[in-house]
Copies of this chain bind each other. A is one copy, B any other.
Amino acid sequence: MNLHEHQTKAIFQRFGIPAPMGKVATTSDQAYEIAKELGGVVVVKAQVLAGGRGKAGGVKVAKSPEEAREAAGKILGMKIKDLTVHNVLVDPGASITKEVYLGITNDRSSGKPVLICSYEGGVEIEEVAKTHPELVIKEPIHPIMGLHPYQVMNVASRANIPREYWQEFGDIALKLWQVFLQNDAVLAEINPLVITGENKLIALDGKMGLDDNALQRHTDLADLRDLTAEDESETQAREAGISYVKLNGQIGCMVNGAGLAMTTMDMTKLYGGDEVGPANFLDIGGGAKADRVAAALRIILSDPNVKAVLFNIFGGITRGDEVARGLLQAYEEVKPNVPLIIRLVGTNAKEGREIIETAQLPNVITASTLTEAAQKAVQAAKGAM
């Protein structure tokens, strides 16, 4: 789960990282009022969970409240990488002498968090890492001992930060580690960390990603989730305890298990080629109770692109006949108007298939192998297009 800039900077402030921050506006009039209150030059920034905001015109400098209103009017409602901008942050302007990158993320290979710093900040750190890897300083953090103050001085030295800023820089880096640690973040990034004209360091922009696996112990953070920033169907799925990601294809997939769900997607793409592909990732979890199946089916069908639905259920713990009965019940409730391709494997799979075939539902096709099921789904989707 990712946080918006204004949410991230509010957390930064709570941990003592200097992050100049204005207020969030949802209308251009609000932006006018905030700019008036702040006085002077302001920056109007789209609050959207996507990179490349600046290039897309989502950040504008305004020299007066009127200009702020105008800028907000242009940014609000704008689409950045498929996401609509619902909020802008109106921030006080800052004089910028130098932009530095400072972030913490997890390194999967070493199993350790890593502090990353580049004196060449302000741009995508991945870009700098590719073009000038020697300018990207990485310092591994001992997961148990945490980030030591001496390490931060090491980083300041290696990154060629001017000495007069070491103390301030070290202080901010240690606080960023606390932000990362205490919020179970997977990313906590200040980009840019700015040296101002007044020779102060401030976090001008910030980004945080949280560990979804840890939200169970951060209910306050879980509440920060911006539902307007995701597809409504994804919200519904999460509330139903279903793992769902909307995609752009035509074949709805309902699968148990994440690995098998990805594989099912891959098979529809493999046999669908450029014309037909997966409409979603969906892992329904263990078993396949009728109400959960019905909820999943409704979510899949809420996507108007869906021309066929592929059920691929490996009856491990749950028996195939039970799954089949659950499917029939869900079918009755939802009454889908697109073809359903059903593949049952595992315990009592044969009995399950018999139950479904006996029911003789319109638009229901059974398959026994994954290949067969995927091919039939592709065929059905193409036929309906």
Contacts and interface: CB of A to CB of B under 8 A. Distances in A.
Interface string A137-166: 000000011000000000000000000000
2 contacts: A144-B144, A144-B145
Interface in A60-90: none
Interface string A102-145: 00000000000000000000000000000000000000000011
Report, as a range, how many residues of chain A touch the other chain. Answer: under 10
Contacts of A145: 144
A144 to B, nearest CB: 6
Contacts of A144: 144-145
A23 B270 CA distance: 75
- The A interface, classified by DSSP as helix, strand, loop or mixed, is loop
A145 B146 CA distance: 12
Nearest to A144: B144
A11 to B, nearest CB: 21
A144 B144 CA distance: 8
Nearest to A145: B144
Nearest to A142: B144
Interface string A336-352: 00000000000000000
Interface in A217-232: none
A178 to B, nearest CB: 14
Closest 2 A/B residue pairs (Cβ)? A144-B144, A144-B145
A215 to B, nearest CB: 20
Interface in A222-262: none
A162 to B, nearest CB: 29
A112 to B, nearest CB: 16
Interface string A342-375: 0000000000000000000000000000000000
Interface string A157-179: 00000000000000000000000
A15 to B, nearest CB: 17
A148 to B, nearest CB: 13
A207 to B, nearest CB: 30
A145 B145 CA distance: 9
A145 B142 CA distance: 13
A355 B145 CA distance: 55
